[in-house]
Amino acid sequence: MSILILAMDYVRGYGIFLTSKRNLATVSDLQVAYAASEHLRALIVFDLIMPANDYISTADPGYKTEFEKALVKTNRAADQLLGNKIITDLESGLGRELQTGLRQIIVGKSRRIFALTKPVGNPLGMKLMREIDAQAHRLNEWMEEKIDAPLKARLGRVRQDFENFGRLVNLIFLFSTAVSFLLSYLFAVWAAGRISGPIGKLEAAAQKMRDGDLAARADIRTGDEIENLGQAFNAMAQNVKASFDDLKNREADLRQAGAALERANRVKTEFLSMFSREMQSPLAVVKQHITALAEGAPAADHLPNIKKLCGHVAEMISGIFDVLRLERGQGLTLNKELLNMNNVISKVAGDLEEEAAVREVKLKLDRPETPLPLEGDEAKLERALTNLIGNAVKFAPAGGWILVRAQQEDSRLRVEVSDNGIGIAAADLEKVFEKFYQADNPYVKNAGGLGLGLTIAREIIEAHGGKIWAESAGLGRGAKLTFTLPIM
């Protein structure tokens, strides 16, 4: 009778195991659906909307081709998402609402923009772009409410099922242990020597599993029903261990995915905050100058400052577009020619000399008198060097110094930008070239900027086949940024 109870207990446990396997499959399906939703949202924001925005800024017809390609990808991603069984089970009418948001508003208005013959500065195009951005924002919120939130809720329910499964398994272990003790007691009267040993092994294995040792097994070789029971127990233990191993792997994946989403949201929030702050200051000053001009102030006193501030804003926006183009895999287009790196260094140093003087920073050059020949894109190398030296000027203390050293080493050109500024912590040396990254230093965060200068410099240097890296003895001890380029 006790053996029958154990067998029934095993069948029940195995049924619970099969339920857990189905739950694991559900977790996998939910992850696929969630990833498809994230992919579709990314396509809408970065691939479908950006070409229209670029078109009204540049009037380049090539962006229409990009839009049509992005539309094909977006429709394919939407069909893939809506074809997922998990999504179809959420709520009826999701596909119709999603396609309406895409086609009638975003796609329809984007095509009206591309139909404009003179899009740059066109009030209708700018109005349509604002409506597209607003609709994209509403569509993003709708997808979060109608798709992402229900998916997260289902994941929570599946996790709860796994927890219930764990409690049921513990109850099975406890019941099996109790039955083992009962069997030992009943059979001890007439077969203690034959049965107590195998039952003890089975009891010990069950106890170990209850304590968390899922690798525990019962080694029973009696050639009778007790051995069969041990084999059944071992099979159940193996299945439970495999299930828990799969569950741990899934939980690790979910934690990593959650951490990645949290990091992405944090970076997005910080970037929007930085961009808003960086735009407000120059625009406020421009407004003051325009007000002064409207009141009759001499244009010569204000127009140069307005031009300078507009150039600063244009440079920030250009940096963002450069990073977006790199994210889309477009890379940099280099117009290579034979140039003298000495001339590039002289021009950049001359452009930044006034800013360095205002900050009471001494800018020094150490380079050979002979030319430093190089084949490269002069304008882009000027931009990379401007970002490096400008960064040093920004963080150098009053009365500090910046040294730009250039020299030829065999078949490579080496350029170093050193300063005695705030320095870089060892943990940040590998991260300073990441986009939107700013070191955990209040002085750095208050100095302004979007965290794109070093990222763009790295892309330019690497596009020329070079390498770039940062060195520092620590916070408050200055820093040195070095890059090397092949000479020919």
CATH of the domain at 80: 1.20.1330
Say whether both 13 and 153 belong to one domain. yes
Say whether both 436 and 291 belong to one domain. no
Say whether both 311 and 362 belong to one domain. no
What pLDDT score does 468 carry? Answer: 96
* Residue reference for tokens 């330019």: 460
Predicted TM-score (pTM) of the model is 0.42
Say whether both 8 and 144 belong to one domain. yes
Say whether both 299 and 357 belong to one domain. no
The answer as to whether 225 is a domain residue is no
β-partners of residue 405 are 366, 416
What pLDDT score does 442 carry? Answer: 45
Residue 120: domain span: 2-205
Say whether both 303 and 398 belong to one domain. no
The answer as to whether 78 is a domain residue is yes
Using CA atoms, how far apart are residues 157 and 444, in angstroms rounded to an integer?
Answer: 44
Domain closes at, from 205, 235, 260: 205
Say whether both 308 and 349 belong to one domain. no
The answer as to whether 264 is a domain residue is no
What pLDDT score does 4 carry? Answer: 46
Digit-by-digit pLDDT tens for the chain (488 residues) are 455 455 555 545 555 555 555 555 577 777 777 787 777 778 777 777 788 778 788 888 888 888 788 778 887 877 777 777 777 666 666 666 776 766 665 777 777 888 888 888 888 888 888 888 888 788 788 878 877 778 788 878 877 877 887 787 778 878 778 777 778 777 666 666 666 677 777 778 788 878 878 777 877 777 777 777 777 878 887 888 788 788 888 888 888 878 767 766 765 665 565 555 556 556 766 777 788 888 888 877 778 878 776 766 766 676 666 666 656 656 678 899 999 999 999 999 998 998 899 899 999 999 998 999 999 999 999 999 999 999 899 888 999 999 999 999 888 999 999 999 999 999 888 888 887 666 444 444 444 455 678 888 999 999 999 999 999 988 988 999 999 999 86
CATH of the domain at 375: 3.30.565.10
Using CA atoms, how far apart are residues 483 and 416, in angstroms rounded to an integer?
Answer: 7
The answer as to whether 240 is a domain residue is no
Say whether both 342 and 458 belong to one domain. yes
Say whether both 71 and 188 belong to one domain. yes
| Dihedrals phi, psi of 479, to nearest 5 degrees | -150, 160
Say whether both 74 and 194 belong to one domain. yes
Counting every residue written for the chain, the total comes to 488
What pLDDT score does 336 carry? Answer: 93
The answer as to whether 210 is a domain residue is no
The answer as to whether 113 is a domain residue is yes
Domain closes at, from 153, 185, 205: 205
Phi-psi region of 362 (alpha: psi -120 to 50; beta: other; left: phi over 0): beta
The answer as to whether 367 is a domain residue is yes
What pLDDT score does 272 carry? Answer: 62
Say whether both 306 and 366 belong to one domain. no
What pLDDT score does 418 carry? Answer: 96
Q: What is each CA distance from 167 to 187, 208, 238, in whole angstroms?
A: 30, 16, 18
Say whether both 116 and 15 belong to one domain. yes
Domain count, the chain: 3
What pLDDT score does 340 carry? Answer: 95
Tokens, residue 461: 């240097």
Domain closes at, from 205, 223, 242: 205
- Residue 58 neighbours by CB under 8 Å, 6+ apart: 120
What pLDDT score does 58 carry? Answer: 86
What pLDDT score does 469 carry? Answer: 96
The answer as to whether 376 is a domain residue is yes
Q: What is each CA distance from 241 to 6, 178, 435, in whole angstroms?
A: 19, 22, 43
β-partners of residue 480 are 418, 471
Using CA atoms, how far apart are residues 221 and 201, in angstroms rounded to an integer?
Answer: 11
What pLDDT score does 331 carry? Answer: 64
